[in-house]
Structure 1
Amino acid sequence: MSEFADFFLAQAEASAHVQFIYDVAAGRIVFINEAYEKVLHGRRASVNEELPALLARLHPDDRAYLAHYAKLWARGQMPDEAEVRLQHPDQPDQWFCLTPSHHANAAGRVWLGGTLRDISVEKRYQQNADNFNTRKNVTLEILSHDLSAAFAIVQQIAQYIGEEVAIAADSRVGEMLRVLESTSQNSVKMIRDLINLEFLASANTDLKRDRIEVGAALRAPLEDLQREQDLLGHPFAYTLPAEPVYARLDVNKITQVLTNLVSNAIKFTPDGKRVAVRVEAAAGSVRIHVSDEGIGIPVALQPYLFERFTKARRAGLRGEQTTGLGLAICKTIVEWHQGTLRVYSTEGQGTTFTVEIPQAPGPDGQPASAATGEKTS
């Protein structure tokens, strides 16, 4: 056994990640590898003296969360990996992923071990990718909506001229109007096909969920949507929780769900009528409400809304077409997050889609209670 112990010790020492063992009864770290000095810039011989100052540099939102995690860990309840941030003066936070291990001997003495991996580069890369994808998705939806509407108007004008204006038999105007009409129709279809393909491709990629502060994650896409709708003269507003609310999200996919629901709301809402998004904490969950003052959904169609290629699909008020896939994909993505997607609608009054996803532990290690206040855009 000594040979194997020496082998594993050598592995731990050679690791680029911080490896440690903590004696719970003694309240001390009894082993830490050389990576501690390279990654956390401490001294191995002084690790127990340095530990309080190190823990004091944890991000305020992560301190109680890590303490809650450690209590489960000490009881042998092995939670998932924990991601925490270490603060540095005048520098970006350093992200770490803690992978735990637990050992208790016959006498009940407990040792906690683990690997602490610096994931700062991965986090920054993921954040940049999420920001890019968020803006791309919002921009594509907005452009598709407005370009589709413009081409639909051109198509309608071409049809009207062809029906109302007498055109000489030897004139090429009739042929030109038919070309204009068919080109506009094909352009609308091409735009919507592009958006649907992009949405489908993203929905089929692997889910990557992280513990995320929901308001912070959704603020940027909601700001983009509001800015674009303000430019177009469409009333749009959003509210976010007054206090931080956490959930385990694939930010890119949830943003696509949000963008798709807002796009649908705009599609069936007359000019001048309001579309709004409200994000709130509920008992053990996070709710995202997308509401409009549009034409509503007939009761007979509502049971079929979330079916693929649903017979409930309708053209938008400005001629926008649909494949009937968007809501089905939204529902799938929400269910991947162990959540639900529901609809409430009254014809002539409007529609509300509600996404509900389980909360993740907040800074105190517990899900937030229902929010008592909100921040408004």
Structure 2
Amino acid sequence: FENSREKYVKVSLYPFNNESTIICGIVEDITVERHNKLHIEQINYRKNITLEVLSHDLKEPLGMMKLTASSMEKEIAKTGDKSLQRSLNFIADMCDRNTRLIRSVINHEFIKSNVVELKKDRLELVWELKDALRYYRRSRLSQVRNFKFSSNKDKIYLPLDGMKFLQVINNLISNSIKFTDENGTIGITANDLGDSVIISVHDNGRGIPEEMRSTLFERAEQGFRAGLVGRDSGGLGLGIIHNIVKSHDGRIWFETETGKGTTFYVELPK
């Protein structure tokens, strides 16, 4: 079309049987509806990323304040000053409460949006994944983490519920951020295998403890491992992520090595 503008049409076909079969149909231009839907999904996804970046920026100083207060409390205990001890204990307790409150807000938003009914559309996967990483690269997180992307094809088309699928990617990235040291690397890779596509989210962080691996996807919105300094262990629901992938007729698994990192794989049919 003119100006390279794409058009979306909806075709409805109806067979009429008389002496011979006649097929009649209606063609509707749904370009505006489609673009509006994509725009809403992008806004929702950017909202989720903004909340994640904001929670990271708030939790890190709160965690450091808690550690500092706890350290000071131990030293003050040697002097016997009970009043100052109580004040430092109060500071540490308030930091802990506010950290849990931040994580609760993020989890609530994720779980609430997860109950929306699945609706698949034909999406260009490479663009969606690059767009997802673009917001992390533009945030302050890019100063303390390295974000990478690679794909074996320039374009890959898949039938996806864009909002739910990007929640999966966002939450896997979020967990990688929590358990990867500063200047660590977090990457996304997309490989078109012909009949299916494998998307991987990998990091060079702490890895998953062996005792938690067998039940990892059975844990609902609970955390699955201890975070780094200044970060709580509240996870974003790997059980929920597993259910979203399953609803796309896909599968999810992981490879991990303690102290070296973790890679989550999501395979989806084309």
Residue in structure 2 matched with residue 225 of structure 1 by the alignment = 136
Residue in structure 1 matched with residue 183 of structure 2 by the alignment = 272
Please give the alpha-carbon distance, in whole angstroms, between the structure 2 residues aligned to 1:93 and 1:358: 25
The residue correspondences of 1:32-51 to structure 2 (distance < 5 A) are none
Of residues 334, 337, 341 in structure 1, which corresponds to 2:245? 334
Of residues 337, 343, 360 in structure 1, which corresponds to 2:254? 343
Q: Scaled by the length of structure 1, what TM-score is found?
A: 0.66
Of residues 166, 179, 196 in structure 1, which corresponds to 2:90? 179
Contact 1:230 1:236 in 2 (8 A): no
Deviation at 1:269, TM superposition (A): 1.3
Residue in structure 2 matched with residue 90 of structure 1 by the alignment = 3
Q: Scaled by the length of structure 2, what TM-score is found?
A: 0.90
Contact 1:215 1:241 in 2 (8 A): no
Residue in structure 1 matched with residue 23 of structure 2 by the alignment = 112
Q: Deviations over 1:70-104 (max 9, x none)?
A: xxxxxxxxxxxxxxxxx2x2374332111223457
Deviation at 1:250, TM superposition (A): 1.0
Partner secondary structure for residue 94 of structure 1: coil
Residue in structure 2 matched with residue 296 of structure 1 by the alignment = 207
The residue correspondences of 1:141-152 to structure 2 (distance < 5 A) are 141-152=52-63
Residue in structure 2 matched with residue 122 of structure 1 by the alignment = 33
Of residues 261, 265, 275 in structure 1, which corresponds to 2:172? 261
Please give the alpha-carbon distance, in whole angstroms, between the structure 2 residues aligned to 1:261 and 1:90: 37
Contact 2:66 2:95 in 1 (8 A): yes
Q: Which amino acid aligns with 1:90?
A: N
Please give the alpha-carbon distance, in whole angstroms, between the structure 1 residues aligned to 2:191 and 2:95: 41
Q: Which amino acid aligns with 2:128?
A: A
Please give the alpha-carbon distance, in whole angstroms, between the structure 1 residues aligned to 2:152 and 2:50: 25
Contact 1:296 1:345 in 2 (8 A): yes
Partner secondary structure for residue 224 of structure 2: coil
Q: Which amino acid aligns with 1:93?
A: E
Deviation at 1:158, TM superposition (A): 0.5
Contact 2:195 2:269 in 1 (8 A): yes
The number of residues matched between the two structures is 270
Q: Deviations over 1:214-243 (max 9, x none)?
A: 112222111112222654321121124433
| Consecutive unaligned residues in structure 1, runs of 5 or more | 1-86, 360-377
Please give the alpha-carbon distance, in whole angstroms, between the structure 1 residues aligned to 2:210 and 2:80: 49
The residue correspondences of 1:1-377 to structure 2 (distance < 5 A) are 87=1, 89-90=2-3, 92-102=5-15, 111-165=22-76, 172-228=83-139, 231-309=142-220, 313-323=224-234, 326-359=237-270
Judged with a 3 Å threshold, the aligned counterparts in structure 2 of structure 1 residues 332 and 167 are, in CA distance, closer, same or farther, namely same
| Consecutive unaligned residues in structure 2, runs of 5 or more | none
Which of the pair has more CA radius of gyration?
Answer: 1
Please give the alpha-carbon distance, in whole angstroms, between the structure 1 residues aligned to 2:213 and 2:11: 45
Deviation at 1:295, TM superposition (A): 1.5
Contact 1:294 1:351 in 2 (8 A): yes
Partner secondary structure for residue 297 of structure 1: coil
Q: Deviations over 1:82-129 (max 9, x none)?
A: xxxxx2x237433211122345766xx654322212212211211211
Q: Which amino acid aligns with 1:347?
A: T
Task: Give the RMSD, CA atoms, in angstroms.
Answer: 2.4
Deviation at 1:173, TM superposition (A): 3.2
Please give the alpha-carbon distance, in whole angstroms, between the structure 2 residues aligned to 1:135 and 1:121: 21
Judged with a 3 Å threshold, the aligned counterparts in structure 2 of structure 1 residues 311 and 208 are, in CA distance, closer, same or farther, namely closer
| Larger helix fraction of residues | 2
Judged with a 3 Å threshold, the aligned counterparts in structure 2 of structure 1 residues 112 and 241 are, in CA distance, closer, same or farther, namely farther
